[in-house]
Amino acid sequence: MPQEAAQLHGLAERVGTPFYVYDAALVRARYRALTRSLPDAGFFYSLKANPNLSLVGLLVAQGAGAEVSSRLELETAVAAGAPAERILMVGPGKAEADLERAVSLGIKAIVVESLAELDQIDRIAAKTGRCQPIALRINPNFKVSGARLNMSGRPTQFGIDETAMESALARVAALDHLRLAGLHVYMGTRILAHETIVENTRGILELAARVAQTLPEPMAFIDIGGGYGVPYYEDETPLDLAALGEAMRPLLRGFCETHPETAIAIELGRYMVAEAGRFVTSVRQVKASKGENFAVCDGGSNLHSAAAGQGFMRRNFPVSLVPHPARQSSPAEASPWSVTGPLCTPMDVIAKDVSLATPAPGDLICIHQSGAYGATASPVNFLGFGAPAEIMIDEGTATVVRERAQVQAFLDEQMPRQISMRPAVTEAALPAPFDHPALERLEAVRPLFETTGGKLAQDPDAWRDLWADPMVRALTMIGVPAEYNGFPLAESGLGLEHCPHDLHVALVERLARFDAGSILALQGPSLAGGALDAVGSPAQKERFFGAYRSGPQGTFFAVTEPEVGSDASAGSAVLRLTDRGYVLSGSKMLIGNVARAQIGIVFAKFEDSGRRALVLIEPDRVRAHLTITRLPTTGMSGADLCRIDMRDVPVAQEDLVAAQSERPSLRDGFMAINGVFERYRPVVAALALGNARGMLERLARHGQANAFASEFRSHAALIAALADVCADGMRGQAKGHRISEIKYQAVAFSDALVARIPRDAPAVMLTDPLLRRKMRDAKGFEYMEGTSNIHVLNAYRAYVAGVAS
């Protein structure tokens, strides 16, 4: 028995039939032949022909780009290693979410099929602050003959009519977030005559040349389509690739010489992979009916609808019989046979009156030329048979590159899930800066924040995972003066040069949707940095901020005490003068990050005068005088709340922040840093609102968006109020009572949501661990800036004065 037949039966025994099998060597050979014949063109593999991940990866490894028409094809191309600048997206009805993903990736071009789509893509790109390259697909006035299926030159859903091209070009020029990268024309498919392809290309290039004359700058590429055919039937002649190359090379080079900045792109699917694939099915029964012979197989039109003629192909594909090695007798002489599948329909015929030696149960039947438009172009789920396995042969090694569909997977997909019949929640547009394009780009770090948030409860040093991300490094440095910042925002990919305070609040709210605790774990300047920057000396600023030139540095700000909370006037941490100088003693509690910190500030008072003081401490230098105890908390593990007990900590003059007599504001320690607290409280509100929004998003994932519609609206209203508070601050008119009010409202909203979830969505709570973590985190916001007397005092002062605080 021939070796190949033995191999096919070996595969059938191991993976079962039916299956598709692809020859990697043939795919590589075809791609090399194309690049040799047409060296001036760049080739893009059309995934619609066969989106198998391994097959796409094989072609990408050879240098092919990817042409995609759906979200799954786009993600397949990315997973296969195609760089964004080598991906084209085509199709007449692209989904909004697919366009958003394409824009976020920055693909080579989105091929636009209508004037309305131009406006749609511009709007999406504007939200992210990007300028998206696009190509106009033109439906030209000229026609092509010789294509089995014409897709241009006639009324069609594809592309923009040539007569409307001038309007389309003007529209592109008027839209700020689009850039015309090229033109795309696809005339037809299954073209076997090279002369037809040449004439088709000539017409496209002439059209492109006319358009180029009207543009202010050269186009990056012209996509001349493809449509190269393969022979399926006995009377068809293969495309003469050598003759095609001889005729096309001078045509392409001539265009490139006159348009040196414009590349030529060719998109091919069928021609690259069809002849490298076979469909293999096993004979189950043979029978005769009214004078006609039938071989009934385990795979039919449900898995290979093209072979069954359910499309525009109406005749037999190349078919061969591979007898089972255990057959006792040789097959009889060839005679006409019809090959059918197992379906309950007379249309399930994949070969009609084909000449075969008499088949028997257990034999294999191969349908050749089946590498393109096979299973993924067929109704694989009809009668519940499911998709077949797919196998790749490469240098003698067989690999399953798609598993056969499993019955349980079918059943799992049909588990009932109740949904609301009410209209979906429509959210109001958010005010500035909560609509800033940079916020959408933060989505890239959502998985990192969600994963790290889960680690922080067991490992307080999991913050290092956050620091490893360049975008998060830049976010960590917000609040570090520019002269000390080694990781500026300009290098973050967020499209920001600097971050005003109101945008900082918006960034915190968005990140808190992912994981609030991870924000508190970032080893940046935080509240202590704000205080030091406000009242520190140049030497103290260098000491505090200098480390940020090269890496992270944890900080802390210690105000709250065990007995008196954060009442600065009643604090008992004291600076006592000894014969060796000042020493600091006392206890602080609910101090975030001190166990991880390299430097921080302690709020204290002088024992002899009662004057308030801010003391700069580096824990590692005075470790013998400190006891740091991590506190158990319900949520917000990233804050790493601790108690710190200080025993005669040596304090030098340079450790006293703004202790000079000319700084009278330090006579009241609270008033000295009041401005810092006022800038911090909107951040606390943002943390609470972001975490609450994160809970709502988890609920929406489980179909609860409408049930919690009022909470979505409340969140939007509170964001609007927070935006107003931030706007007051940016105008220099911060109002203390409004700042305290929004912080209270945000925390109260979060608490109310946590109380409602167990009552109205208990099943979601029990099955969603990320939701439960966010609910626990919501209980930690009361510790974010000490006890409530800070808010009461500040609100009372501003209210009585009747002026902005």
Active site amino acids: 344
Question: Where do runs of H (alpha helix) occur along 87-174?
Answer: 96-105, 115-128, 165-174
Indicate the DSSP class of residue 703: T
Q: Is the distance from CB of 109 to CB of 267 less than 8 angstroms?
A: no
How far is 754 from 768, CA to CA, in rounded Å? 14
**Torsion over CA: 689, 693, 695, 696 (sign):** positive
Helix (H, G, I), strand (E, B) or coil at 561: strand
| Alpha helices for 394-500 (secondary structure H) | 407-412, 437-441, 446-456, 463-467, 470-476
Specify whether the CB–CB gap between 303 and 385 falls below 8 A: yes
On the CB side of 262, CA atoms within 13 Å amount to 28
User: What is residue 793's three-state secondary structure?
Assistant: helix
- Is residue 99 within 8 Å of residue 153, measured between CB atoms? no
Q: What share of the chain is helix, strand, coil (3-state, %, to 5)?
A: 45, 20, 35
Give the HSE-up count for residue 523: Cα atoms under 13 Å, Cβ half-sphere.
22
Contact 623, 647 (CB under 8 A): no
> What is the 8-class DSSP label of residue 70?
S
Q: CA-to-CA distance for 587 and 602, rounded, in angstroms? A: 10
Q: Are 50 and 371 in contact (CB under 8 A)?
A: yes
What type of residue sits at position 435?
D
At residue 141, the 3 state secondary structure works out as: coil
Amino acid present at 256: C
Round to whole Å and give the CA distance between 46 and 74.
11
Three-state secondary structure readout of 219-283: CCEEEEEECECCCCCCCCCCCCHHHHHHHHHHHHHHHHHHCCCCEEEEEECHHHHHHHEEEEEEE
Element (H, E) at 496: none
Sort strands 87-89 and 109-112 into parallel, antiparallel or unpaired. Answer: parallel
Buried b (16+ CB within 10 A) or exposed e, 460-492: bebbebbbebebbbbbbbbbbeeebbebebeeb
Task: Please say whether the beta carbons of 76 and 53 come within 8 A.
Answer: yes
**What is the rounded distance in angstroms from the CA atom of residue 64 to the CA atom of residue 44?**
5
Sign of CA dihedral 303, 308, 309, 314: positive
Contact, 386 vs 380, CB < 8 A? yes
Tell me the Ramachandran region of residue 390: left when phi exceeds 0, alpha when psi lies from -120 to 50, beta otherwise: beta
Distances (CA, A) of 33 to 228, 242, 630: 13, 9, 67
Reported for 693-698, long-range contacts at CB under 8 A and 24+ positions apart, including other chains, are 693/509, 693/512, 693/513, 694/512, 694/513, 694/514, 694/515, 694/516, 694/774, 695/753, 695/754, 695/757, 695/771, 695/774, 695/775, 695/778, 696/753, 697/513, 698/764, 698/768, 698/770, 698/771, 698/774
